[in-house]
Chains A and B, each alone.
Chain A
């Protein structure tokens, strides 16, 4: 593949930039995401996740089933902060969004 090819359209990340992260030891979609912003744009990796997995597969010994899909965190598609910060008194979306599941004594809290 030509190194200039854009793999992530939203953030304009090229094949070369992804290859560079793999050379440095990146082995998952999320490794590449954290270093390049690949998959962090408007489509939230819907277009590039499979393309990136194919690049990792070609460059490493990993098979496709060893390359996990990206972690889909809430909110899973772009939503304005105004909508997210609902003024409902019954429940708070903002607090929930900022909560991550934690383990207490080996069990999900």
Chain B
């Protein structure tokens, strides 16, 4: 199979990049391991903060919008397909679990997103302990109530959206446990949920399922009896495909840990490989869309479907939007990461 541009990952960043590339007349191929394009958006029922070119929408509405926008453009889909690796001649190996076949593209855009991090404690493998994203997808995608009383464990801001969702399906939130004390007021106050800061789960107990947990707080140990614990350990970029493509990597804690080095064009150390979305550093929904547009503009410039002068104008305006809409710490880390493009910490990983 052949395409001008191969996009790996059909989440918000990948779908945005697909639209921007395809509308210049290039032929796009999108691969995603799920049968439905849209990625994590389908389980996000909260209203998203998006760049001003979009109206306010909920996650699943954005998924539908981004997919429908591609109708009539030269976009081919490989849904339910996974990338298994990269061959010596640069072709990408793809499987649908029945067969394996190679795909060739002039340019590749990596939009593989990020995965949730775990926070381990004794017996965290008991049924009933899951990540907060899993709880969201169980409610919104599978239409199943994950439990009747929950403890949320972690430090991420995304917890408040999921709290509202859980309360709306009558899951009682017994407590929120945070390891670090955060500055400012906690939003959980309005919902009257007990908040334990500077605290951690010491142990979970249960016979075949979660029954109780011990929490070490600054004021002593307490025991609670939730039937689910939702771990919110933040996210880190997914590395497997960029690693296979032999892209050089760097560690940037504020962006989620290890990630490919990239330049101002969002081009990696491999000339034909670009990155976008959470794969460029974990950020908010606006950044997913804006980096999708950035990577697409650079790819179009490289394939001469956009003139260089015009691309530079587009890119500058996207960067200034990104600076406004992304957390300032994230944007500074991103600028630093771009500056360090030529000094990766891990490169040529397949030559030992």
Contact = CB atoms under 8 A, between A and B. Distances in A.
Contacts of B251: 64-65
A101 B122 contact: no
B338 interface: no
B101 interface: yes
A103 B349 CA distance: 13
A48 B87 CA distance: 27
A15 B125 CA distance: 13
Given A83-B95, A83-B100, A68 B346 contact: yes
A40 interface: no
A96 B258 CA distance: 27
Contacts of B346: 68-69
Contacts of A74: 84-86, 93, 244
Q: Which one of A6, A51, A75 has the highest number of Cβ atoms from chain B below 10 Å of its Cβ?
A: A75
A76 B120 contact: no
Contacts of A7: 120
A60 interface: no
A66 B249 CA distance: 12
Interface residues of A, number: 40
A99 B97 CA distance: 22
B203 interface: yes
A101 to B, nearest CB: 5
B120 A65 contact: no
Contacts of A50: 117-118, 236, 257
Given A1-B120, A64-B253, A83-B98, A77 B84 contact: yes
Interface string B247-276: 001110100011000000000000000000
B169 to A, nearest CB: 26
A2 B203 contact: yes
Contacts of B196: none
Contact of A76 (B84, B121, B345): B84
Contacts of B241: 76
Closest 8 CB pairs of A and B: A74-B85, A65-B251, A75-B84, A72-B243, A76-B240, A72-B240, A93-B100, A2-B122
Interface of B: 82-88, 93, 95-102, 115, 117-118, 120-122, 124-125, 203, 236, 238-241, 243-244, 249-251, 253, 257-258, 345-346, 349-351
21 contacts: A4-B122, A6-B124, A7-B120, A46-B115, A48-B118, A64-B257, A65-B250, A68-B345, A68-B346, A69-B346, A71-B349, A74-B85, A76-B83, A77-B84, A79-B100, A83-B98, A84-B100, A88-B101, A93-B100, A97-B85, A101-B350
Interface of A: 1-2, 4-7, 9, 15, 44, 46-48, 50-51, 64-65, 68-69, 71-77, 79-80, 83-84, 86, 88, 91, 93, 96-97, 99-101, 103, 108
Given A68-B345, A74-B84, A76-B240, 7 more contacts: A15-B120, A51-B118, A65-B250, A77-B84, A83-B96, A86-B101, A101-B351
